[in-house]
Amino acid sequence: MNAVLETLLISSSDIQHSEGLELLNLRGDALPLRSLAAEFDLEESTPGAKRFAVVVGMGDLRVGLLVDRLDGQQDTVIKPIQGPIQGVRGIAGATELGDQNPVLVLDVSSLVEDTAHKKGSA
């Protein structure tokens, strides 16, 4: 994914707070963190001492998406999701990696945009 700038392994103690937002000091810049589980109303796994963040960017905006685990990197074709439901915000499509297991592909621009708005309204 060309939107991914880097991946980080962070410990809970690295996370700072400002106005209800979680921030990470990334080489002097404040990187807003966002839990993907919370964003999608999923049950959040109890954060261990170490967490993974995927730093994504759109234009000048940077967001660290907190995830449970990193599975790897793969080149693939993003397929649209077929069916009556016309698009879900935050999901760009899906793909299959050859094991019949569909993998959802995030729409980074809308996720970053949502974080920017949240920051503005906070």
Partner 1 sequence: MSESNLTAGEAQAWDALAREAASAGTEAAAIDEIRQLLAFELDGTAYAVPVEQVTEIVRMRPVTPVPRFPEDVLGVISLRGEIVELIDLRRRLGLAPTSPTRRSRIIVASNSAGEVAGMLVDSVREVLRIPSEAIRPAAGSESSAVEGLCAVGDQFVSMIELDRVLTVDA
Shortest reach from residue 47's CB to partner 1, in Å? 19
Shortest reach from residue 102's CB to partner 1, in Å? 4
Shortest reach from residue 25's CB to partner 1, in Å? 29
For residue 25, give both structure tokens: 């000091």
Closer of 3 and 94 to partner 1 (Cβ): 94
Closer of 48 and 98 to partner 1 (Cβ): 98
Q: Residue 111: count other Cβ atoms within 10 Å of its Cβ.
A: 23
Closer of 23 and 118 to partner 1 (Cβ): 118
**Helix (H) or strand (E) run with residue 116 in it:** helix 108-121
Closer of 19 and 41 to partner 1 (Cβ): 41
Question: What DSSP line would sit under 22-78, residue for residue?
Answer: EEEEETTEEEEEEEHHHHTTPPPPPP-SEEEEEEEEETTEEEEEEES--------PP
Rule CB under 8 A: which residues touch partner 1? Answer: 39-42, 79-86, 88-91, 93-96, 99-104
Shortest reach from residue 11's CB to partner 1, in Å? 27
3-state SS class at 47: coil
3-state SS class at 89: coil
